[in-house]
Structure 1
């Protein structure tokens, strides 16, 4: 039954996309008071929940920074409208997943972005959930001279090999992950092994983590790559065990991550190695029961509702998110998978992007002129859901906080915010029994990635080394 329901939802989403392409024709041409933002991300397929999270966060971040109290849903999961002063802000989402497929595709992302710009009037782009699509859109941003806010794609190559002046990587990069998580991994043992997908994100993640681990006195004894579509990880786990590493860092995301962790658990890896990596989203931990296969798991996490400490902006986000969730009125309650009842992993990253854009629009007086927005975004500093943020002028990367957390069973989190009537059926059972949730361990403050490409190079630029995070305090039992 679940497969039929998902198929039906996919068909409905495809139909809505077709309707949208016919009904929304160059909104911007109708009035000078229109701002059109195009979001290219997964609206179907294996990473659709990543797209949901970033859209919810982005719209709420824009509302927070522009002091907008509400929004209008024009097409569910695909188009929204906000009123700001005398302007109307249109947010239009397009999928980068080909019809009938599960995996995002850079060529589809390119076509979607060009359609948003040429036919819908978008002058600002936001996206994507996967790094290959984001890399493709860096070229579209430069071709059409439109601002592109990258979120949540993390490959550091986006703002290294593919950086141009229109691209701002607001999301944390693989360097942020590595500086926080790699430093922590090196505390657990001195020999480290990886299993990662053989794509740009997987390789850039291993590269960055390896650099940080080595700077902290560790040695990488195996970097094992597998196709992103792998479902039988047996040979790769055998190679991992043969490495005799003290620490294992799994680097994986998407639909097959659960399979990887199930096979890691069944192979006895946890009994022979310490395992740490990035902590995944809460929906995956609970709905797919991945938490069952992550015993005593500690590691780096980008964001969850309870990790920012003493942060009024995050308190606003949690309050607004819960308010809208109870009304079934989040921007997207889930294009395929139901939205989690509390702000999840990429909601925070999306919020920072919307917050930054809102502040930039204030500085430009509402102008979407790319040169004015570039000037407004470069060196922009503000306090957001992840603490103090700075968008660096040199390479359009952010300086931001990261977190160390431990996965625990929490039987009070949902009860603090919801009654049974507030939740969709899929989450009702968790209200009484509890959820897998991150428990705060430490904040790695102001994580600063290296400058790998400088848009404004000084005459005698010196290469910068990645910041080494202060070691996190050992978790208390």
Structure 2
């Protein structure tokens, strides 16, 4: 999928108002064993993420990044002080119901720290459980904006949808008076992208319209003609599915990609060859890719992950481990102290300087502009610009609980 990251991010954002399932965990987590007063007892961490299912490739990167980050944050010991960090992994397969069951099981066994959530729908179900049971929850690749400010026990180790759209906006600078067209599928997914771009870029003064194609479309020439006729300053493409290569080829052949600035989301490395010759003519908003940042954390992650090549969601796992180590170092087994330790904390992550915003737990972080060069298996991403955490900061929201 050419824009799977963007698809997941905006589909999740469109479901922000969904009612979260509140579940009661078994047992008494405040009394159960995550160390109690014993400074040598293990720290139990439960990771609930996609080991299987549609987002298994994202989950694989997350856990690889987590292991690298844990080693980095503990200087290779996997211990906080004298306490070994014991990690239990559970597969939710991207299914919120499975994630809820796993979270309840872990909390019932005394786990005070949960992390993971590859899928946004999962994160929205686990967050209220964390609040009800007063356990620390650090969401992972899940990009829905609704995780930010969900409650005081919920944090995130990845970016959110608003940061994606602000990165797209950066390609046209001042949006006032600009013309933006969203090209996508005529589906809930496509319409949610239109709504998001209208809210963020339209809210900054741009005129936002859309061209939506039926999900079953295979001939994209008529849509390419509409896009050319619209003469936008920015064409934002949100596309998912097996027709993506044909869509990009048509846009390229019809001259759309050279007529304006065309922006889409850069997904995992495995998706890059699907752009074909069109790839070099598209501008990409990027959460992360290998080479986007060069610092101690990035070097450590690169050295630790299998194959020595970083990908889209390695930083999310790495950052989660850094946050957990910080929480335990400062808070011990007192979850409220863990929360306080994370609020307002600034640190150097794989992406660069990151800050947990105290008022709503947004993770302020750099974002990137990228281009693809080369072709086939030799295609690679090159950094065009790194946007600071301030440049891509989402508006603060009121904490819900």
By the TM > 0.5 criterion, same fold? yes
1:379 aligns with 2:379: no
- Distance in 1 of aligned mates of 2:288 and 2:311: 7
163-172 or 32-41, larger mean C-alpha shift: 32-41
Distance 1:115 1:221, change over 3 A: same
TM-score with structure 1 setting the length: 0.67
SS at match of 2:51: coil
Residue 113 of structure 2: aligned partner? 124
Shift of 1:235: 8.5
Residue 56 of structure 2: aligned partner? 48
**Selected match of 1:36 from 44, 49, 63:** 44
Residue 16 of structure 1: aligned partner? none
Shift of 1:320: 2.7
- Distance in 2 of aligned mates of 1:142 and 1:320: 33
Give unmatched runs, 5+ long, in structure 2: 1-28
- 1:409, 1:437 within 8 Å by CA — same for their partners in 2? yes
1:440 aligns with 2:383: yes
Shift of 1:86: 2.3
1:112 aligns with 2:102: yes
- 2:237, 2:263 within 8 Å by CA — same for their partners in 1? yes
Residue 208 of structure 2: aligned partner? 220
392-401 or 274-283, larger mean C-alpha shift: 274-283
TM-score with structure 2 setting the length: 0.78
Q: How does 1:195-344 map to 2 (within 5 A)?
A: 195=184, 206-215=194-203, 217-222=205-210, 224=212, 232-234=216-218, 242=226, 244-245=229-230, 246=232, 247-252=234-239, 256=241, 259-268=242-251, 271-273=255-257, 274=260, 275-286=262-273, 289-290=274-275, 294-309=279-294, 311-321=295-305, 325=306, 341-344=308-311
Distance 1:192 1:202, change over 3 A: closer
Residue 451 of structure 1: aligned partner? 396
Residue 330 of structure 2: aligned partner? 363
Give unmatched runs, 5+ long, in structure 1: 1-25, 70-81, 98-103, 327-340, 411-432, 457-477
- Distance in 2 of aligned mates of 1:352 and 1:185: 30
Deviations 1:131-162 (A, max 9, x none): 111111112112221111111111112225xx
Residue 407 of structure 1: aligned partner? 372
RMSD over aligned Cα atoms: 3.1
**Selected match of 1:165 from 139, 149, 152:** 152
- 2:80, 2:328 within 8 Å by CA — same for their partners in 1? no
Q: How does 1:18-37 map to 2 (within 5 A)?
A: 29=33, 32=36, 33-37=41-45
**Selected match of 2:161 from 174, 180, 184:** 174
Residue 88 of structure 1: aligned partner? 84
SS at match of 1:153: coil
Shift of 1:280: 0.9
Distance 1:182 1:203, change over 3 A: farther
Deviations 1:206-256 (A, max 9, x none): 444333322555321117497xxx5x3449996675464434323356xx3
- Distance in 1 of aligned mates of 2:380 and 2:104: 39
Shift of 1:197: 8.6
Distance 1:223 1:213, change over 3 A: farther
- 2:181, 2:210 within 8 Å by CA — same for their partners in 1? yes
- 1:202, 1:251 within 8 Å by CA — same for their partners in 2? yes
- 2:360, 2:399 within 8 Å by CA — same for their partners in 1? yes
Length, aligned pairs only: 356
Deviations 1:265-314 (A, max 9, x none): 2433662254311111112325xx455553422221111220114x2221
